[in-house]
Amino acid sequence: MKEVNEMLKRERIIEILKETGVLQDGHFLLSSGRHAGKYLQCAQVLQYPSYASELAEGIARLWSDQKIDVVIGPAIGGIVVSYAVGQALGCRAIFAERREGRMTLRRNFKLNPAERVLIVEDVVTTGGSVQEVINLLEEERINVIGISSIIDRSGGKASFNYPFKPLLTLNIESYPADDCPLCKKGIPFTKPGSR
Ligand SMILES: [Zn+2]
């Protein structure tokens, strides 16, 4: 475990997310059909190892009062960030993945009940994938210490039976297409990922 420094500040986290194109301002048509003034693509920041490390160290600091033996992330979003947090904590990092719709440990990854496990995800939207990892670990009687994500965008809806410490909580408002303040201003919208 590295030395405990001061917490990574919200302003710095947002700066990194804007600089790397994770957090975009504009007028977007979401896959749900709703419109929004912000768009989030967390994978963008993880293509830069130095930024990924900085965020991961921020997550590691949130757990500096705990001994963590293993970090686990749900594939695919959680793989890189859990690896980076494992590096920051100086412990193992593995990932769980779905097989036939069921979250499992493959590739001969193993946990033993004596190990203290931290679950790490990139973005928590509904918390579904994290809950699947929790279920998997509970079935194996693994000691879950808590959950972290770079971003919690659930609007407070995601909650778990373990401590949840996101690095950043974001509320991204969205609007019905026929009642969107950005449309009313005449701003053209774009569909993210379509280019
Ligand atoms: Zn609109």
Round to whole Å and give the CA distance between 141 and 186: 55
Round to whole Å and give the CA distance between 35 and 152: 20
Q: How far is the CA of 154 from the centre of ligand 1 (A)?
A: 21
pLDDT at position 172 is 87
Which domains does the chain carry? 47-170 (3.40.50.2020)
Question: What's the whole-model pTM score?
Answer: 0.88
Q: How far is the CA of 84 from the centre of ligand 1 (A)?
A: 37
pLDDT at position 83 is 98
Return the H-helix or E-strand segment holding 162. none
Round to whole Å and give the CA distance between 77 and 82: 9
Q: How far is the CA of 155 from the centre of ligand 1 (A)?
A: 21
pLDDT at position 52 is 95
Q: How far is the CA of 28 from the centre of ligand 1 (A)?
A: 7
pLDDT at position 87 is 97
Round to whole Å and give the CA distance between 147 and 134: 9
**Which stretches within the chain are classed as H helix?**
10-19, 43-46, 49-62, 77-89, 128-139, 181-184
pLDDT at position 3 is 45
Q: How far is the CA of 27 from the centre of ligand 1 (A)?
A: 6
Q: How far is the CA of 189 from the centre of ligand 1 (A)?
A: 6
Q: How far is the CA of 76 from the centre of ligand 1 (A)?
A: 30
Q: Which residues of the chain have pLDDT under 70?
A: 1-6, 193-195
Q: How far is the CA of 36 from the centre of ligand 1 (A)?
A: 7
Q: How far is the CA of 51 from the centre of ligand 1 (A)?
A: 32
pLDDT at position 4 is 45
Instruction: Return residues with CB closer than 5 A to ligand 1 (ion).
Output: 35, 180, 182-183
**170-178: long-range contacts (C-beta < 8 A, 24 or more apart)?**
170/23, 170/40, 172/36, 172/38, 172/40, 173/36, 173/37, 173/38, 174/30, 174/32, 174/34, 174/35, 174/36, 175/34, 175/35, 175/36, 176/34, 176/35, 177/29, 177/33, 177/34, 177/35
pLDDT at position 1 is 40
Dump pLDDT digits (tens) for 79-101: 999 999 999 999 999 999 999 99
DSSP classification of residue 3: P
